[in-house]
Amino acid sequence: MAESDDEYVQDISDEDIEAHQVTRGAGAGSRVTGQGSRGAGWEVTRTWENVVEGADGTISSTVEGLLEAGKRKRLLKDTTPLQRGIIRHLLLVLDLSNAMSDKDLRPTRYLLTLRYTINFITEFFEQNPISQLGIIGTRDGLALTISSLSGNPNDHISNIQKLHEQEPKGQPSLQNALDMARAALFHAPTHTTREVLILFGSLLSSDPGDIHATISALVSSHITVTIIGLAAQVAICLTLATRTNPSLPPSQTYNVALNEIHYRDLLMRATTPPTTPHSTTERSGVESSLLMMGFPSRIVDPSPTLCACHSRPTRGGYLCSRCSSKVCSLPTQCPACGLTLILSTHLARSYHHLFPLRNWREVTWARANESGQKVCFGCQAPFPERPASLRRQSTSGAQNHVRMSLATPRSQPHPPKAVHTSTASKDGVSESGRYECENCGRFFCIDCDVFAHEVVHNCPGCQSREGILTSGTGKGVGQTEVVVEEMTGETAS
Amino acid sequence: MNAVDGSDHYNKTSDEPPPSLLTIILDTNAHAWALLAPTLPLSAAIANLLVFINAHLAFNNSNKVAIIASHTQRAEFLYPIPSEDDSRQANGSTHNGAQNGLDGDMNMTDGNEANYAATADDANHYRPFRHIQTTLLSAMSKLYKTTSPESLTPTTSIAGALTLALTYINKQSIAFSTTTSSKTNADPLLAPSDPNSIQPATLNPRILILSVSGDLAHQYIPIMNTIFACQRLTIPIDICKIAGDSVFLQQASDATHGTYIALTHPRGLLQYLMLGFLPDQSSRKYLVPPTAVGVDFRAACFCHRKVVDVGFVCSICLSIFCSPPEGAVCLTCGTYLQLGEYGGKPAVVAKRKKKRKKGADE
């Protein structure tokens, strides 16, 4: 279930890109066919047919609907809680060869890659705060370390910025880069992921030996390789991606960027922690373990004292919670006792991956009338009134007011398929402009819907309703279940 | 040339400082306020708060304010309130604005908390100030009227209030940017997966929490989510800690570069507010803000909701436990966890592990 759901997310983003991609739509038809939700591939580009005059003779209502659909489409993600590899070790391999000076991506592939890489680094550490990232470049048939594996985004960014002064040249070598990546990931602990992400602009790889041997070595050391191509699909890349990710379809591991936006999307997709397949224990040696970590508090001394990590005199710092030695920055390992020291905020940043907010469902006019909520609970903005033209049809709307959105995972008595073909909503847009949280039954506007799912990852209604706190006061272990239930969206006892 | 014909006069509109939106979260926990009553009764606090709000509004004509109550069990808007606010009852009956205004007047004359200020001399009262005052007071008394005695717990739903504040700020920022420039509307569609495409709010939002109660460990995850959202949107969270102590609010203000002041003399609330919290983001650059020196970065464990400084973290889901869970199975994700990871280092730790295991079995 997990994998098929995951693939669905992928489909959405692809389709999203197709919507932008007018001229190449036919060429990329193979991507579109088989997704099936919008008909044949060539139809996708005929966007003008979606624009229909409204009752008042303007197209403003349709345009608004399309805007809302665009906002909403991104939201209908799978909200099933999945196991994800949250502690990651990722090596980013940059192609710095001649091919990167092409200008098919503006301004050049090279400059765009550098720019996106900087964004990627920031976003990566935003999403994976306790992960490690390293950067390797390949040019002149060689692999070179640009930035070694570390958890500090600023180091990486400054190293990338140094690349601006250099020119791409020579041929890339996949094998050398992969060997270097493998060596760098050799020490990664078993409970973390080992990933390589290659941004590859060339159509060839000039290697000193047999790259297939390298691929086999990667497979045996459980390193997964994902590739973003910039020019065209290359056979060896496909082999590499499929062999190192046997459980994933190639569409998730090897993609060729169609344009700048697509490139960015592909790159940013890699910032989300990868899902761990459920048969995780036998696969790839990823073992879960319990880590002991310290959450030190920050102190400021009145006079400078030496820190344990650099032996430099500093005033501010963090005291190890086990041995009270002072370190300058977090996350780190205590130099004295070896305890992993981390800010709890680092850990907490990943929780929304683990406890995703469920999708809210669309509200029909019948349901909206029944409930009588007049303003968005989140932002107090008034909802649109029911248009007079629709009042007559209220009976037809009443029967499907329990329509669910796409990806609501469990506890669904109603079959989502039949329900989704109803005329009242298309692309997950609510006809009444209201979206309802199934847990607390509050209505929200589209802006709050997008904001709550993309940024806050909290439901304003669920967090502020009666009884959310009483269920948890003063209980013991059993209380965790309550919390988990809250987060996964079951109604609390 | 332009200077001569004076046409640049019409182009120069953006010189004035951007308006700031102050969102105040008022902890309305009745327990805590009752405890505070000898030094700072709630009515006095609200009077001080109203002066502070007026000062904020007087700074810039287009400054805005929103007040949210973080009540014992729920969070609710106190200002602004939609004129037809019956979403809570959800009974579908429609009141009109006049009803609401009447309600406010009645409460004013009833005088629950309202009798200390603003009697009838409205002619001398700047109208926006008065509007906020009446709305706030009537909403407050309504809030306490609808509070049932059994729902009075010592906690407060700060996470809900923060989430409400953020959604409100988000909506106001969108509204503000669409009125100033209409083209930004299309941006989120162009860069769909870019989290930075959330417009850097030209509206200058900030959140001020007046907190009187502690113990927020139950809402650890939602609070953290809101903190990260604020961090991402560069919204500072200012904490005015009137009483109690809470680890997570310290972290909130630290992570978002807000101000944290724990009041030593609650009686002087107004002075703290005026001196510490009145400057907005743009003017804080030129000031030395009062900051908390040390920040408590401890986390809450998922199993007993204890605040811990050394915890055990599940490598799969990053749940924090205060001791290894029973049977070494993670309580959150159900994964079997190997305990050997931390036993391997010095011999001392291995001994400790045995002890803990025994403790877990009992």
ipTM of the complex: 0.73
* Number of Cβ atoms within 10 Å of the Cβ of A297: 16
Distance CA A37, CA A35 (A): 6
Length of chain B: 362
Distance CA A280, CA A274 (A): 13
Kindly list the distances between the CA atom of residue A99 and the CA atoms of A103, A201, A353, in Å, as whole numbers in the listed order: 10, 6, 37
Q: Name the A residues in 412-451 with CB < 8 Å from any B CB.
A: 441-445, 447-448, 450-451
Under-50 pLDDT residues of chain B: 1-2, 11-12, 84-120, 182-201, 341-350, 359-362
Distance CA A266, CA A119 (A): 13
Residues of A with Cβ-Cβ distance to B167 under 8 angstroms: 376, 378-379, 444, 448, 451-452, 456, 460
Tell me the CA end-to-end span of chain A in Å, nearest whole number.
27
Query: CB-based contact (8 Å) between A470 and chain B?
Result: yes
Kindly list the distances between the CA atom of residue B256 and the CA atoms of A24, B237, B273, in Å, as whole numbers in the listed order: 44, 6, 19
Residues of A with Cβ-Cβ distance to B337 under 8 angstroms: 288-290
Question: Which of B162, B166, B167 is best to mutate for the A interface (most A CBs within 10 A)?
Answer: B167
What does DSSP say about strands A88-95 and A326-327: parallel, antiparallel, or unpaired? unpaired
Residue A211 confidence (pLDDT): 93
Task: Please confirm whether the linkage preceding B200 is cis (ω < 30° from 0).
Answer: no
CA-based nearest distance A419→chain B, Å? 26
Residue A215 confidence (pLDDT): 94
Distance CA A69, CA A48 (A): 15
Distance CA B299, CA B302 (A): 9
- Residue A451 has its nearest CB partner, among B75, B76, B170, at B170
Residue A282 confidence (pLDDT): 41
Residues of B with Cβ-Cβ distance to A318 under 8 angstroms: 297
Please say whether the beta carbons of B259 and B277 come within 8 A: yes
Q: What is the sign of the dihedral through the CA atoms of A409, A353, B155 and B100?
A: negative
CA-based nearest distance A73→chain B, Å? 10
Residue B117 confidence (pLDDT): 43
Q: Which two tokens stand for residue A241?
A: 């991606």
User: By C-alpha distance, which of A369, A366, A374 is closest to A394?
Assistant: A366
Residues of A with Cβ-Cβ distance to B324 under 8 angstroms: 290
Distance CA B7, CA B13 (A): 12
Residues of B with Cβ-Cβ distance to A269 under 8 angstroms: 193
Residue B177 confidence (pLDDT): 79
Contact: B92, A370; criterion CB under 8 Å: yes
- Residue B299 has its nearest CB partner, among A13, A339, A344, at A344
Residues 6+ apart with CB under 8 A from B5: none
Residue B215 confidence (pLDDT): 66
Residues of B with Cβ-Cβ distance to A74 under 8 angstroms: 192-193
Query: CB-based contact (8 Å) between A208 and chain B?
Result: no
- Residue A288 has its nearest CB partner, among B170, B219, B315, at B315
Query: Angle at the Cα of B173 (from B169 to B174), degrees rounded to 5?
Result: 120
The 10s digit of each residue's pLDDT in A294-337 is 888 888 888 888 888 778 888 888 888 888 888 887 777 788 88
Q: Which two tokens stand for residue A331?
A: 């996350």
Kindly list the distances between the CA atom of residue A4 and the CA atoms of A245, A487, B24, B37, B83, in Å, as whole numbers in the listed order: 16, 22, 44, 58, 47
Closest alpha carbon within chain B to A476? B304
- Residue A466 has its nearest CB partner, among B74, B316, B326, at B74
* Number of Cβ atoms within 10 Å of the Cβ of A150: 13
- Residue A463 has its nearest CB partner, among B157, B220, B310, at B157
Closest alpha carbon within chain A to B295? A298
The per-residue b/e assignment along B191-222, b for 16 or more CB within 10 angstroms, e otherwise, is ebbbbeebbebebbbbbbbbbbbbbbbbbbbb
CA-based nearest distance B313→chain A, Å? 5
Kindly list the distances between the CA atom of residue B354 and the CA atoms of A186, A390, B13, B342, in Å, as whole numbers in the listed order: 31, 70, 71, 12
The 10s digit of each residue's pLDDT in A222-259 is 899 999 999 899 999 999 999 999 888 888 899 999 98
| pTM to 2 decimal places | 0.68
Spatial strand order in the sheet of A193-200: A142-150, A132-139, A88-95, A193-200, A224-229, A254-256
Contact: B163, A464; criterion CB under 8 Å: yes
Please say whether the beta carbons of B308 and B297 come within 8 A: no
Please say whether the beta carbons of A319 and A303 come within 8 A: no
Q: Name the A residues in 288-327 with CB < 8 Å from any B CB.
A: 288-300, 318, 321-322
SS3 of chain B: the string is: CHHHHCCHHHHCCCCCCCCEEEEEEEECCHHHHHHHCCCCCHHHHHHHHHHHHHHHHHHCCCCEEEEEEECCCCEEEEECCCCCCCCCCCCCCCCCHHHHHHHHHHHHHHCCCHHHCCCCCHHHCCHHHHHHHHHHHHHHHHHHHCCCHHHCCCCCCHHHHHHHHHHHHHHHHHHHHHHHCHHHHHHHHHCCCCHHHCCCCCCEEEEEEEECCCCCHHHHHHHHHHHHHHHHHCCCEEEEECCCCCHHHHHHHHHCCCCEEECCCHHHHHHHHHHHHCCCHHHHCCCCCCCCCCECCCEECCCCCCEECEEEEECCCCCEECCCCHHHECCCCCCECECHHHCCCCHHHHHHHHHHHHHHHC
Successive 10-residue mean pLDDT values, chain A, 493 residues: 42 43 38 40 55 65 70 58 72 93 89 93 82 91 90 85 91 94 86 89 92 93 92 92 89 90 90 67 54 83 84 85 84 79 77 79 83 83 76 45 38 38 51 84 86 86 65 34 36 33
Residue B197 confidence (pLDDT): 38
